[in-house]
Amino acid sequence: MSFKIDTPLEKRIQLSEKMREKYPDRLPIIIEIQKQSNPIQLSQTRFIVHKSYTVGRLITEIRKNSPTLKSDEAMFLFCDAKNNGILAPISKTIEELYTQYKDADGFLYFTVAKENTFGQEILETIDSTFNGIFNGISKFLF
């Protein structure tokens, strides 16, 4: 489900303008999930975020509110979907990214992707290999 595809341009422009008028110190953003076999779950995709938030703080908030994101999975935010997305620098503020990458409808679009960063599959392989070796050795020792 894509907000941009499901919502007509005029409606998106109205929504972003209304949000900016009501909250002048905040910016409207859309966070969409990268399509993958085990996606992150979010309760909503449309957010209004304070201008001074950094990408790092936004990632922390998303992580806290996503029940499906495990501790051994990293989360990455990409913006500028028109150019296949760039990895949003953690220290950049939302306002800096909004100024540079906002869409014509007034929203800043992010795509969230997750990765296993601590080698869960490798750890499982090592664990099963170690158990196999240990079981083989224990036959000779005992």
Map out the domains of the chain as residue ranges: 3-141
- pLDDT tens digits for 2-60? 888 889 999 999 999 999 999 999 999 998 887 764 667 777 788 999 999 999 999 88
According to DSSP H, which parts of 9-54 are helical?
A: 9-22
Q: Which of 85, 57, 71 is nearest to 117 (CA)?
A: 71
In this prediction, residue 138 carries a pLDDT of 46
Q: 3-141 architecture in CATH?
A: Roll (3.10)
Instruction: Provide the whole-model pTM.
Output: 0.76
Contact yes or no for 55/90 (Cβ under 8 A): yes
- pLDDT tens digits for 53-100? 999 999 888 888 787 777 777 888 888 766 667 888 999 999 999 999
In this prediction, residue 48 carries a pLDDT of 93
According to DSSP H, which parts of the chain are helical?
A: 3-6, 9-22, 55-64, 94-101, 120-141
In this prediction, residue 86 carries a pLDDT of 86
